A and B are shown apart, each in its own frame.
Chain A
Amino acid sequence: AQSVTQPDIHITVSEGASLELRCNYSYGATPYLFWYVQSPGQGLQLLLKYFSGDTLVQGIKGFEAEFKRSQSSFNLRKPSVHWSDAAEYFCAVGAGGTSYGKLTFGQGTILTVHP
């Protein structure tokens, strides 16, 4: 069964600083990997996804993520954080085969941005 670990429950950065949110996954085959963002009281918005090809994926709002098979990681990065990036971020893994359709989410990382 697949699983996702987001080691950091809460991260605080200053506006303009760089950001890296960690995500480690466990899955037997090549995974489908996603990063979603959730603002308070809202649904989830897709930032980016990986399922094949280039291991560096570009997303919306200036985010990118790199798939590293050897480390079972899919860390999310942004070179310069804006105050509007404050939200909760979820990494998720999707499977194929009989488990298709089921996304497994990490616990989430809450991002606070200081002015």
Chain B
Amino acid sequence: NAGVMQNPRHLVRRRGQEARLRCSPMKGHSHVYWYRQLPEEGLKFMVYLQKENIIDESGMPKERFSAEFPKEGPSILRIQQVVRGDSAAYFCASSPSKQGGETQYFGPGTRLLVL
């Protein structure tokens, strides 16, 4: 059973460009979470999605960031008009259900560098 897949692993963008980060959850998992890790900091929750639904986006910046988890295909985190402050590692996690205490399994992350 493959783990959580994220691609690309590394992404370089110039200021003003768009970044698209993809996450394929573990087989059988229908819950996806995105976290951001800034340099020298812990992970910060961004958004929680189920298939075709955003459940909690309380950690998403109000502008330029969006996320989706379509019926078919991976979850996408999209950052429009990137700025240097967006440089970070973005981690996706998945879980099979929404039971309390359910383990979230993390992918290897996408490291975004904005020049």
Contacts and interface: CB of A to CB of B under 8 A. Distances in A.
Interface of A: 32, 34, 36, 41-46, 49, 51-52, 90, 92, 94, 96, 99-108
Contacts of B44: 105
A52 B101 CA distance: 9
B52 interface: no
A43 B107 contact: yes
Interface residues of B, number: 27
A94 B108 CA distance: 21
A43 B42 contact: no
Contacts of A94: 100-101
A96 B101 CA distance: 8
A42 B108 contact: yes
7 nearest A-B pairs in the assembled complex, by CB-CB distance? A51-B101, A101-B48, A32-B101, A105-B42, A44-B106, A43-B106, A43-B108
Contact of A43 (B48, B56, B109): B109
A108 B41 CA distance: 7
Contacts of B98: 100-101
A106 B98 CA distance: 22
A46 B41 contact: no
Scoring A41, A46, A92, A100 by chain B CB atoms within 10 A of each residue's CB, the highest score goes to A100
A66 B106 CA distance: 24
A16 to B, nearest CB: 29
A32 B58 contact: no
B36 to A, nearest CB: 11
Contacts of B91: 43-44
B81 interface: no
Given A44-B91, A94-B101, A96-B100, A102 B45 contact: yes
Interface in B13-49: 31, 33, 35, 41-45, 48
B103 interface: yes
Given A90-B43, A101-B33, A106-B42, A49 B101 contact: yes
Contact of A51 (B48, B100, B108): B100
B115 interface: no
A43 B93 CA distance: 10
